A and B are shown apart, each in its own frame.
Chain A
Amino acid sequence: MNIEIRDLYFTYPGGVEALHAISLNIKSGEQVAIIGQNGAGKTTLVKHLNGLLLPTRGQVFIGDWDTIKHSVAKLATRVGYVFQNPDEQLFSKNVGMEVAFGPRNLGFNGEQVQALVNDALAMTELSDKTETNPYDLSPTWRKMVALASVIAMDTPIVIFDEPTTGQDALNITRIAHAIKALRERGKTVITITHDIDFCAENFERVIAMGQGNVLLDGKTNDVLRQDAILATTYVDPPQLTRLAKRLGFKNTVRNQEQFLAELRTNYTL
């Protein structure tokens, strides 16, 4: 399920032009992180993918569907969107029912729903909490319920809006695992994040936005090399990227494996 964005412009009703001339393609199965200041247009862009916003000019295609021609409910069969604040989604009596809400809306039958729910709960380590009321869980676990609710919809494309905000290291690891599992199933994963270390370690492609424009778009290592442009997004490069640069390594580094590999290459007795 490819995503094609053609010359997208978007202006909010108040007159603010939030996106200018965005053209990009995201192929099936890609893992993309979108970074940038608040107000750069990240959420505005991503809301065009499931029809919550429609272009002022230009087109957005999800597979062969032009988003203008399909309702948000229809597009939800192809694009799952996990909002930043789980408390803006959770309402059910228990976790099981909450997670079943999405797939039910999409028209799966009872058996299918059950299978999808069980699968999503396993991926998010919630299998033992099926009967718990979501609001009896800590905010950390409520986040996982929100994730599970969308994963259960089994959409080919999944969008995460700031999944790691306020989370501790353990939960970030859980979220990273869930994203990895989605990748292994061939899903396209798009994430908006301020956590540059999380971004660098889990995503192969990075799009940096600023003031409604795409400033950078490419492989993570290539994007991280562009200090000057990245600086305009006020995002500090990942810790290991900075360290590698400081030590004068030739290649840009984005995670521990790459750092250690570079270290070995540069090490002399």
Chain B
Amino acid sequence: MAIVNLQNVTYKYPLTHMPVLQNISLQINEGEFVAVVGPNGAGKSTLCYTLAGFVPHFFKGEISGSVEVAGMESSQSTLDAWVMNVGLAFQNPFNQISGAKYTVFEELAFGLENIGVPRDEMKARVTNAMDLTGISDLANRSPYSLSGGQQQRVALASILVMQPKVLVLDEPTSQMDPIGTREVFGVIRKMAEQGMTVILVEHKVEWIAQFADRVIALKDGQLLLDGTPSEVLTSPILEESGFGISRYTAVARKAHGLGLWKTDRLPVTLEEAAEGFSFTPSPSLRSASQSPQGKGERRP
């Protein structure tokens, strides 16, 4: 059952000439973990806003085509219905903190106060969200005293308390340091494993290659590719169009040209690359490395 169904969506921001989304058609099933890649300016953020209802309800502008998400239809439902069903988080954690609350616990309750959730249920949901995002020990801290990674997890938790059916994340780790990136990816992965439908815009190709079910490549407002990480991230179109690809893919492609990578299927993860290159070491190295591959066994 498709929880997201975009048909021929074209959208232009107010007072602009070029449509930022051009004829996008996209179906996503419940529970899928979809990654979105593309150069800056490709329309990834606009796609996120469209899935979250901010396009067109917040930004206005001209939209054509149909947008259905979590049982809502763009022209029928208002923004306050959308935000109940679709959670949206973005790059800069600082801008996602409301500023109206003095502790993390209260910050998480902010959204629930706004929509009139009863007090007991509020406390339960907040506690639960803090558990999920690993910030329970930060409950009484001021959101402004936290590290980037902690703040971003607070932002995620404050969306999760709203119990959305779909989670849309626009480059949530772009401004994180290595620890923060790990923390945030950890939460996202957990949500995906629990069956949440996740749409994640990311540049960190290596990670999405490992954990996403599906990858969509966007360029100049158009959907270029849509398939498994392996299919999309190894497509030559990506490298030609200036997308970021993993170094494993890039070096394997070069090695292929030199006859040093034997199959046509290129790797996207460390594991795949290690497997694929592992029959090339010399005998002395082959016996030294404990690769379960053994000698000369090729990947299918």
Task: Kindly state the interface size class of chain B when it binds its partner.
Answer: 35 or more
Give the number of residue pairs across the A-B interface with Cβ within 8 Å.
111
Contact across chains for A166 and B174 when beta carbons are under 8 A apart? yes
CA distance A165 to B203 in the complex (A): 10
Provide the residues of chain A in CB contact with B38, threshold 8 Å. 168
Contact across chains for B247 and A246 when beta carbons are under 8 A apart? no
Contact across chains for B260 and A256 when beta carbons are under 8 A apart? no
Cross-interface CB contact of B289 among A234, A248, A260, cutoff 8 Å? A248
Cross-interface CB contact of A169 among B179, B244, B248, B274, cutoff 8 Å? B244
**Which of B40, B175, B242, B244 has the most chain A CB atoms closer than 10 A to its own CB?**
B40
Contact across chains for B270 and A168 when beta carbons are under 8 A apart? no
CA distance A146 to B48 in the complex (A): 28
Binds B, one of A60-68, A69-77, A180-188, A236-244: A236-244
CA distance A248 to B182 in the complex (A): 27
Contact across chains for B251 and A169 when beta carbons are under 8 A apart? no
Tally of A interface residues using CB under 8 Å = 37
Q: How far is the CB of B129 from chain A (nearest CB, A)?
A: 24
Contact across chains for B285 and A266 when beta carbons are under 8 A apart? yes
B235-268 vs A, CB cutoff 8 Å, 1 = contact: the mask equals 0000000111111101100110010100000000
Q: B98 within 8 Å of A by Cβ?
A: no
A201-234 vs B, CB cutoff 8 Å, 1 = contact: the mask equals 0000000000000000000000000000000011
Q: B53 within 8 Å of A by Cβ?
A: no
Could you list which residues of chain B lie within 8 angstroms of chain A, going by C-beta atoms?
A: 38-41, 91, 147-148, 171, 174-182, 203, 206, 242-248, 250-251, 254-255, 258, 260, 270, 273-274, 277-278, 280-283, 285, 288-289
For the complex of A and B, list the 8 residue pairs with the smallest distance between their C-beta atoms, beginning with the closest: A169-B244, A248-B289, A239-B247, A166-B174, A38-B177, A170-B242, A140-B40, A234-B178
Instruction: With A259-B251, A260-B254 given, name 6 new contacts (CB 8 A).
Output: A37-B178, A140-B41, A169-B245, A194-B178, A233-B178, A260-B260
